[in-house]
Structure 1
Amino acid sequence: MFEFDQYLGFLAFLTILTIGFWLFFVLLLFVIPYWVFGALKERIEEFIQDRKK
């Protein structure tokens, strides 16, 4: 039915797919919100400093 090479290819495909899924998951949940809120915080601080001058 399946030869060993096909099995290794399937395992490599599943491994790459799983790594990609978790990378996408981490990017969506942690990296992008951290970047957005950091940029907003920096812009608000600059706005407050400009108003004080």
Structure 2
Amino acid sequence: MNKQQKIKHWQGIFEQQKSSTLTITQFCRDNTINRLLSMRGASAFLVKHPG
């Protein structure tokens, strides 16, 4: 997966979590997303797309 694909991947995950009623922690647990990986994905996304 190249950098642009990773950004789109994480953007989709963030949108799914936002539209769910779950906390970030519960969403990650339910979707077997490692918190460290999700934090790294978030950091990469936010650096590219602030605000």
Range into which the TM-score falls when normalised by the shorter chain: 0.3 to 0.5
Which structure's CA Rg is the greater one?
A: 1
Using the size of structure 2 for normalisation, the TM-score is 0.38
Greater share of residues in helix: 1
